[in-house]
Amino acid sequence: MGGVALGWGEGWRVGWPVVTFDIDRIRAQFPALALADDGQPRVYLDNPAGTQVPQQVIDRMVDCLVRTNANMGGQFRTTIDATELVHQAHLAMADFYHANSEREIVFGANMTSLTFQMTRSLGTLFQPGDEMIITAMEHDGNNTPWRLMAAERGMVVKTLPFDPHTYEFDLAALDALITERTRFAALNMASNLLGTINPIKEMCARLRAAGAITYIDAVQYAPHGPVDVQDLGCDFLVSSAYKWYGPHQGVLWGREELLQTLPVWKLEAAGNDSPNRWETGTQSHEGQAGCIGAIEYLQWVGREFGDDYRHLAPAGSSERTADIHAAMRAMAAYEEQLSERLITGLRAIDGVEIRGITNLERLSQRVPTVSFTRDGLDNAAMAKHLAAHNVYVWNGHNYALPVVDFLGIREQGAVRVGPTHYNSLDEVDLLVELVGDYLRAN
């Protein structure tokens, strides 16, 4: 595989020299990438549903279970160390999101559970007739919880459509939905089926001007680009660590003034300050330790491959935030090559329709998640064919129910291919070859 030269696209990539992204060194950090079955290497292109983890994550989680396996707040060594570990995890995630404080970080079992939890608290702010905006591009985890809240509170739900040809939002359509009764909006930063990166900063500015609270699903975006909640201007943002090379954890950011004042459903014995008032019961300390490990891995990537991007870190940010942002930008630039190879290869296959941006001049406006359909294709059979060659993809609706409903493909769904920065061009080429062989034979 060797070193891979990075090309440059739009936006912050324009004008920068070609650098080398050493894919072999990257892959060596992930033990799972060395696994093979009957001599056949595993090709992980199922990453939108969950990535593999680097050795730092494994080491951090094992160390937690061995040395700090206790509850917090006691007087002996294990509990003291556990308390410090949890504190450090919140500090690390504050740097990951570029938050103002670790008090704005809330850990939970997963994004969906955290979102349901937030519906209980945010729902108390709304009255019958208040309006909520949600989009036709959401994962169901940022759709159903809010629709249930709206039904319970008597709110009016408005759905922002996307263009089925460009797979993007028209901000004029958002403007048309916003009224003096708009109180809340749930938006995704990148679609987990279409791959589109949405203009969240501009959308939040419009909604904030109307006095609406914004809740951002960054689950699909966070593995592929830097997150800066201060710059985005949102009120809440959530991602899943297992999508960005960490363990099964959900991590919420919220404005401190809201996290400190919203009503919560908690035990009397729990603390009244954020994040204690939100983190119900005993949390997964090993999961939080794994998040630290994932961030340490990203720091390594940033230091090794992201020097040309470091100056683009948020002003006044910590060294750790600068490392993370440099890593994410270097990874995104490499992933554009993966996207170009994948999209070009699939488009050359007769009858294949890619459900997402395919303009190679606009790859910076999408993550490398690429979904495709073909008339009459049994998507499950395609996924099984690929799995028979140890190539892993997902098929079906992929929990993007609003998307498949809007496109009219719920019954069929799509085949979803999700490379990330540890995948090679050779793996993408193998996928394209196998898809072409199957379709020509069927």
Tokens 């949890």 locate to: 86
**Tokens for 272?**
């009244």
**Tokens for 300?**
């390594």
Q: Which domains does the chain have, with CATH numbers?
A: 3-53+319-441 (3.90.1150.10), 58-296 (3.40.640.10)
Q: Do 415 and 391 form a contact (C-beta atoms < 8 A)?
A: no
The dihedrals phi and psi of 223, each to the nearest 5 degrees, come to: -75, -10
Give me the pLDDT at residue 192, please: 98
Dist CA 100 CA 95 (whole Å): 9
* Greatest C-alpha distance within the chain: 68
**Tokens for 428?**
């993408």
Dist CA 246 CA 295 (whole Å): 8
Give me the pLDDT at residue 13, please: 43
Cα-based distances in Å from 119 to 30, 144, 149, 265? 36, 10, 6, 11
Q: HEC states along 363-393?
A: HHHECCCEEEECCCCCHHHHHHHHHHCCEEC
Closest CA to 203 of 110, 149, 133, 267: 133
Tell me the pTM: 0.95
**Tokens for 290?**
């794994």
Give me the pLDDT at residue 17, please: 42
Give me the pLDDT at residue 20, please: 67
Give me the pLDDT at residue 21, please: 83
Give me the pLDDT at residue 50, please: 98
Q: How many residues does the chain have?
A: 442
Per-residue model confidence as pLDDT tens for the chain (442 residues): 344 433 333 343 444 444 568 999 999 999 999 999 999 999 999 999 999 999 999 999 999 999 999 999 999 999 999 999 999 999 999 999 999 999 999 999 999 999 999 999 999 999 999 999 999 999 999 999 999 999 999 999 999 999 999 999 999 999 999 999 999 999 999 999 999 999 999 999 999 999 999 999 999 999 999 999 999 999 999 999 999 999 999 999 999 999 999 999 999 998 899 999 999 899 999 999 999 999 999 999 999 999 999 999 999 999 999 999 999 999 999 999 999 999 999 999 999 999 999 999 999 999 999 999 999 999 999 999 999 999 999 999 999 999 999 999 999 999 999 999 999 999 999 999 999 999 999 9
Closest CA to 353 of 372, 333, 336: 372
**Tokens for 422?**
């540890």
